[in-house]
Amino acid sequence: MENLGVELVARNGTAVRQALEMGEWLHLTTSSEEITDEFLLFAIESGLLTEWAQAFPDPRQSPEVSVEVIWAASLAARFAGLYSMRKTGYVLQSARVLGALGYSVAVLEADHGMTRRGTSDDQALSGDVIRKLLEKLEAEVSEEEVARQKAELAELAAGRPQIKVRERASRRAVKQALDEVEAAARSRAVAEQLVEWYNERVGLRMLEYARLGKGRRIHLLDATRIEVRLEAGNYECDGIVKNDDGSYARGYKVGTLRTLTDTAGLLVQMKMGPIQQHDLALCRPLLRESAALREGDLLIEDRGFVDGAEITHLKRVRKVDVIVPLRSNMDSTKEAICLAEMAGKWDPHPSRAEQEIALVRGVEHVWDECDVPLNACVIRFFNRKKGAIDYIVLVTTDLSLSAAWIVRHYEERPEVEQDYQQLKSGGWKLKQLASTRYSQIVFYVLSVVCAYSLYHLFADTQAGARFADKTRQAIALDQLRTQRTHIIVYAGGYFEIFETLSFLHLVLQLPPAIQDKMRVWLGDHLHLEVQRE
């Protein structure tokens, strides 16, 4: 079977119609309408995609494939549920999306394509386009930066458990002699550039577009693992951690700062590191530097971020309030429970009939690391597993909050946990890594985080409100029931998109001689398609 190449061509409806009337078209093909196209069209038409692409650290001069096309294809792949970088180009086939970009895919002879190297099959762009872009970025990392990255990698690896691994070289090491330490350092330097680009130019831009107003914003800080096979030792910049049950895990950790909107939330900031890195150490730069946090905001954390010094810094320096649950063995926890029981003033839990709550003021005096006032909400309930009364203690630096409001705010976490599960193990495939090269892994993770946030940003608009309560899988099912098809016509170096019935109506108005020519062309084309199948 002879493979076909592809190229990108510009849209020009007038030129294509004139060519059809003269019987001088190059190629016809079909394209189905995807419901998820709505999200990409939103990114394109809002100008967000162009802004992101212009800010991307692209080292290429006069690139054949723009970052706008690369990032559109990557987002399309995430919406399609694909995780392989090699298959990214296959999903950028939507007539509407390509039309909005001003391009489409035109079929050429075998071994030709949109790059000088060509493509071996009929995808819009090869995964090598992304790989080579990242390789060029790695090649331009300075020697000083390489030295810094090596030192940080050595520090992160210090004391890491030694696990027996399967001896398997990376793809790069197989092709050529490779200094793996230097390669990892360069890859990590590029990964940091990509994360910085996302945090400063993508996440914050989405937050600005969301127009949340000047009032208090509520943020959730979260960290999750991305595990790989324990015996696979060829993942760059990975880590190993010993679990509570004595087993070991290998992989990475992703920290995200999520800003809540009316319907869900946006992952506006992100950090990534080895799996053994502590949640707070990973995310501390976000707490200290992120422009997403502003004075008067409220940050909701889980127990992995309990740190008195960091709470003090957030309140005093950044003027950001915190709600966080205390660990059961902390002195402040014991003090709050004791004071609540002594006062005996318990109120009903705002959402759980079997639980009671009490407000306790001033529990920071038994927490040496915390130098700002803290109030506590003590939650009392019967623990069936223990067969006894048990407690949960939430503390906050916002002294104006009642016990009920402390609970209501903290319950934002479980209310959005289903969305987090979709990101971690649902249709977004955050944990499906198809590469072992760290810069490519981070590029993939960022595309997942961006697609996920784009989904929620669009769902929070009037045009996208119908998607607000649907998962990515539910949207895919709807898509199967509502597909429409289009005909893409290529002629004279241009293309145009026609709805199928509209194109049929146009063809029926062409002169008989042109219709006969099209009939012959379709006969030959359909015969070729049968051979390819």
What would the pLDDT profile of 262-279 be if each residue is shown by its tens digit?
877 899 999 999 999 999
pLDDT band (50, 70, 90) for residue 474: low
pLDDT band (50, 70, 90) for residue 176: low
Cα 433 to Cα 440: distance, rounded to the nearest angstrom: 9
DSSP-based helix, strand, coil % in the chain, nearest 5: 45, 20, 35
Per DSSP, the residues of 327-350 read PTTSHHHHHHHHHHHHH---EE-S
pLDDT band (50, 70, 90) for residue 434: confident
CA-to-CA separations, 504 to 13, 501, 507, 510, in angstroms, rounded: 16, 5, 5, 10
Q: Which residues have CB under 8 Å from 1's CB, separation 6+? A: 531, 532
Question: What is residue 121's predicted lDDT score, i.e. its pLDDT?
Answer: 45
State the average pLDDT over residues 139-164: 89
Question: What is residue 532's predicted lDDT score, i.e. its pLDDT?
Answer: 43
- Judged by DSSP in three states, 141 sits in coil
Backbone angles phi, psi at 516, to 5 degrees: -60, -40
Residue whose C-alpha is closest to residue 416's, from 286, 303, 256, 275 = 256
Cα 171 to Cα 435: distance, rounded to the nearest angstrom: 9
177: number of Cβ within 10 Å: 6
Ranges 117-121, 321-325, 461-465: which has the least confidence:
117-121
State the average pLDDT over residues 424-448: 86
State the average pLDDT over residues 430-434: 83
Residue whose C-alpha is closest to residue 276's, from 321, 225, 317 = 225
State the average pLDDT over residues 486-509: 84
> Which of 420 and 230 is assigned the larger pLDDT?
230
Cα 220 to Cα 297: distance, rounded to the nearest angstrom: 11
Q: Over the stretch 62-101, which tens digit does the pLDDT of each residue have?
A: 787 889 988 988 888 887 776 555 555 545 666 677 777 7
Provide the residue type at 397 as one letter: T
Question: What is residue 432's predicted lDDT score, i.e. its pLDDT?
Answer: 82
Q: Which helix (H) or strand (E) holds 312?
A: helix 308-316
Provide the residue type at 124 as one letter: A
Average pLDDT, the chain: 84
Q: How far apart are the first and last CA of the chain?
A: 9
Cα 380 to Cα 141: distance, rounded to the nearest angstrom: 55
**Pair of tokens at residue 515:** 């219709």
pLDDT band (50, 70, 90) for residue 440: very high
Residue whose C-alpha is closest to residue 42's, from 324, 462, 336, 428 = 462
Question: What is residue 185's predicted lDDT score, i.e. its pLDDT?
Answer: 96
In the predicted model, is pLDDT for residue 163 greater than 60? yes
Domain ranges of the chain: 6-135+467-504, 295-425
- Judged by DSSP in three states, 490 sits in strand
CA 495 distance to own-chain centroid: 32
State the average pLDDT over residues 486-508: 84
pLDDT band (50, 70, 90) for residue 523: confident
What pTM does this model have?
0.81
Cα 139 to Cα 456: distance, rounded to the nearest angstrom: 36
State the average pLDDT over residues 117-128: 51
In the predicted model, is pLDDT for residue 415 greater than 80? no
Of 164-178, 378-392, 414-428, where does the model show the most confidence? Answer: 378-392
Provide the percentage of residues in the chain whose pLDDT is more than 70. 80
